Structure 1
Amino acid sequence: MASVHPNGKSAFSQPLSRGQKLRLWFRKYFLEGQHLEDEAEKNLANLPENPTLHDLIFIKYRKFVAGLIPFLLIHTFWWSTAIRHNFFRWYPDYWHMPVTMVLGSFVGGMTSEGAGAVAFPVLTLVLHVAPPIARDFAIMIQSIGMTSALTCIVFMQVKIEHRAVLLGTSGAVPGFVLGVHFIDPLMTGPQKKMLFVAIWTAFAFALAILNSHKKRTTFKEIPEFCFWKGLVLFVTGLIGGIFDSFAGSGIDVSIFSVITLLFRVSEKTATPTTVVLKGINAVFGFYYRAVMMGDISEVAWKYFAVTIPVASFFAPLGAFIGSHFHRQVVAAFIYILELATLIGFLCNGPSWQLLVIGSAIIVFGYVFFHALSRAGGVLLQSIQRRGKQDVF
């Protein structure tokens, strides 16, 4: 049989069979491969023929070990606690939350949207749970799921933008505190639902803008980093932290949009970066709501207790699988999720005032993200004129 080249033609220019075309398509979109830290790529390329136990754990089989670490650790503590306090009695009443978070945790680990992007709309739009309870549960469960995915990403040594994590978190922490005390109380439940749907729909447009450039130049990390770029990350984190304060999610999509559209960082770096960012900020949000404010409802605690085993498994699984997918596949998951959220919001019969304001936010978001993309193009041209070579 003639060998097949990546360009879709055989070595002797024979037409490909349907099966060969299908295999090429599958490899392109679902087996693209991971982008690793430079040191990890070097170690993997130089793996000895007779690897040591250290080589096997941290290099050859790091992908599988990465998922086992959070799974075993969290399940050990959860099962011992669940048996001691009989968490199992709550499943007949709250079984729908673990079922929901199978998808939520998987999507959260795989995409730039945290698990809260599923938890919040399902709780508020489908189950009609009060937004503060939905917000708290989203933060609580992401402190398990997203930190599990974080552990998986760090152990696998998948490439992330460390400065975006550090500066984004520096802004998100005061943003969350400001938002939860002064901004969240000003909004009604329907307004919070509307803002969530409008902001995330606008993000879907941002992703569509990003993916409309089929062969654009991208970078492994933010190129020519300087003070003003750090300030942009801090301010973006501040805004994202405010979003987190009423919806339990937002810092992740905010940072993702800026570093991909403006700074032209590859989604293969940006997506795991936002997972790590969300995991860190979910832990802080959980701590602040549970310890410093101490008013998390009993229902949210029960939702959290019955969902931990699911989140600790499916979030790392999503991070592992998503790190191999093509960006278009990951984007497709987000498009479907946002469309379902928008339909759910409309089916709840919002007032015409909310529809008008929400539509205005979506339009403004589209214009803003389009302008951000154009600004990113100008920056890219400036970098290319100076001969920047560290691109994908």
Structure 2
Amino acid sequence: MPSSRRPLLPWFLWLGVFYAVWLGIVLVGNHGHTVREHLGIAIAMIFGSYCAGATPMGGGTVGFPILVLLFGEPATLGRDFSFAIQSIGMTSASILIACRRQPVEWPMLRWAVLGSLIGTPFGILFIAPHVPSLFIKLLFAVVWCSFGVLHLYRLREITRHEGLAPGAHRFDRTAGLMIGLFAGSGVAALTGVGIDMVIYAVLVLLCQADLKIAIPTSVILMAANSVIGVATKSLTSGFQPGVFENWLAAAPIVALGAPLGAFVVDKIGRTPTLYGVSVLCIVQFLWTLRDEWSQLGGLGLLGGIAGVLTFNAGFEILHRVGARFDRRGLRGDSDPDESRLAPADPD
């Protein structure tokens, strides 16, 4: 193997193991017809996996609305599918991130993963069973519409960030732990996605982080959170009917698609992709309102709009606090970024 490809050897090994196991499942279980019957979700996840690697939005961001809004499946299936498919695609992208030694905000990430180890299982076991399907759909629509709106009016500023704002290191433990606990239990446990976008928002708004730091960090957190979700569902209530069949069709797509998304976006830039995905986030919100109008009515419409406004008010508060630290030039040491953003974490 050429020396330039040797750092990618762990990723190639992961792909080899995954495709061998996947092929074994298909052949031994005679699931060829299952894959053919679910080609629709596989095709949709070509774009979904690209988003997973190129943006801070997991593949479930596409998988959930496709299954729930287009195919008419229950929201609980969309959630479980998001966990299952991201445990492959986002893990594959995370391994590639580590092999390429991309900068990652390890201190906050470490605490966020720790928080999600508690928050996500708690949400799956004790909150999700009591939440109506309609609320899950609306929550998903509101969260992603909020991030779409955020990018449409803040993206130009966000793309100019370099490194981290001085003083940002003060938030590592508290912010990371709160993200894991509250976004894990209140968003990811219900929709299967979202914790990645929360840490991304904290990094780019509060910490004024470079997208080259924020997006890889969000990808790794979503991978870890998805694995936690899959483990929790497997050991407790199990997955919704239909998750395995859709996963079997889409998994070989996302194993390559998410990492390739990260590669492609390095060539064409993140701005066009983020603008496009942001518009789609707003479109799916409007689609959800139209699709569920008979149940939502005027009160549901007002609740959805209020949710979007509330999330963006929170984003604005994060932005203002982050800008204040940036202006003050608060820095705890001479050059904290070198140690904080190391591509490998020896601890």
Settle same-fold status: TM greater than 0.5: yes
The two structures, once aligned, show a CA RMSD in angstroms of 2.5
- Give the 3 Å change call, closer, same or farther, for CA 387–231 of structure 1 in structure 2: closer
SS of residue matched to 2:163: coil
Q: Tell me which residue corresponds to 2:279.
A: 336
Q: Tell me which residue corresponds to 1:239.
A: 182
TM-score by length of 2: 0.88
- Match status 1:371 vs 2:317: yes
Amino acid at match of 1:194: L
Q: Tell me which residue corresponds to 2:81.
A: 137
| Structure with greater Cα Rg | 1
Amino acid at match of 2:328: S
2:207 pairs with 263, 273, 297, which one? 263
Residues 94 and 219, structure 2, Cα contact 8 Å, conserved in 1? yes
C-alpha distance in structure 1 between counterparts of 2:58 and 2:270, whole Å: 17
- Match status 1:107 vs 2:51: yes
Residues 268 and 327, structure 1, Cα contact 8 Å, conserved in 2? no
- Give the 3 Å change call, closer, same or farther, for CA 385–159 of structure 1 in structure 2: closer
Pairwise mapping of residues 162-177 of structure 1 onto structure 2 (< 5 A)?
A: 162-177=106-121
Amino acid at match of 1:193: K
- Give the 3 Å change call, closer, same or farther, for CA 57–215 of structure 1 in structure 2: closer
Question: C-alpha offsets along residues 227-266 of structure 1, whole Å, 9 cap, x if unaligned?
Answer: x441122102222212111100011000000011001110
Instruction: Give the Å deviation of 1:334.
Output: 2.3
1:205 pairs with 135, 149, 164, which one? 149
Instruction: Give the Å deviation of 1:362.
Output: 0.6
Pairwise mapping of residues 58-73 of structure 1 onto structure 2 (< 5 A)?
A: 58=6, 62=8, 68-73=12-17
Runs of 4 or more, structure 1, over 4 Å off, are 214-217, 220-224, 384-391
- Give the 3 Å change call, closer, same or farther, for CA 84–193 of structure 1 in structure 2: same
- Give the 3 Å change call, closer, same or farther, for CA 162–221 of structure 1 in structure 2: farther
Amino acid at match of 1:289: K
Pairwise mapping of residues 1-392 of structure 1 onto structure 2 (< 5 A)?
A: 55-58=3-6, 62=8, 68-213=12-157, 216-219=160-163, 223=167, 225-226=169-170, 228-242=171-185, 243-291=187-235, 293-350=236-293, 351=296, 352-383=298-329
Question: C-alpha offsets along residues 6-38 of structure 1, whole Å, 9 cap, x if unaligned?
Answer: xxxxxxxxxxxxxxxxxxxxxxxxxxxxxxxxx
C-alpha distance in structure 1 between counterparts of 2:258 and 2:176, whole Å: 25
- Give the 3 Å change call, closer, same or farther, for CA 216–153 of structure 1 in structure 2: closer
Q: Tell me which residue corresponds to 1:32.
A: none
C-alpha distance in structure 1 between counterparts of 2:192 and 2:151, whole Å: 21
Amino acid at match of 1:304: W
What is the aligned-residue identity percentage?
A: 23
Instruction: Give the Å deviation of 1:269.
Output: 0.9
Instruction: Give the Å deviation of 1:321.
Output: 1.8
Aligned length: 334
Question: C-alpha offsets along residues 39-74 of structure 1, whole Å, 9 cap, x if unaligned?
Answer: xxxxxxxxxxxxxx6843346xx4xx5763433221
Instruction: Give the Å deviation of 1:187.
Output: 2.0
Structure 1 unaligned residues grouped into runs of 5+: 1-52
Amino acid at match of 1:211: L
Amino acid at match of 2:280: L
User: Hey, which of these two has a bigger chunk of helix by percent?
Assistant: 2
Instruction: Give the Å deviation of 1:206.
Output: 2.6
C-alpha distance in structure 2 between counterparts of 1:222 and 1:317, whole Å: 33
C-alpha distance in structure 2 between counterparts of 1:286 and 1:374, whole Å: 36
Amino acid at match of 2:86: Q
Instruction: Give the Å deviation of 1:78.
Output: 1.0
Which stretch shifts more, 75-84 or 266-275?
75-84
Amino acid at match of 1:364: T
Amino acid at match of 2:22: W
- Give the 3 Å change call, closer, same or farther, for CA 73–324 of structure 1 in structure 2: farther
TM-score by length of 1: 0.78
C-alpha distance in structure 2 between counterparts of 1:210 and 1:69, whole Å: 39
Amino acid at match of 1:356: L
- Give the 3 Å change call, closer, same or farther, for CA 104–381 of structure 1 in structure 2: same
C-alpha distance in structure 1 between counterparts of 2:283 and 2:34, whole Å: 28
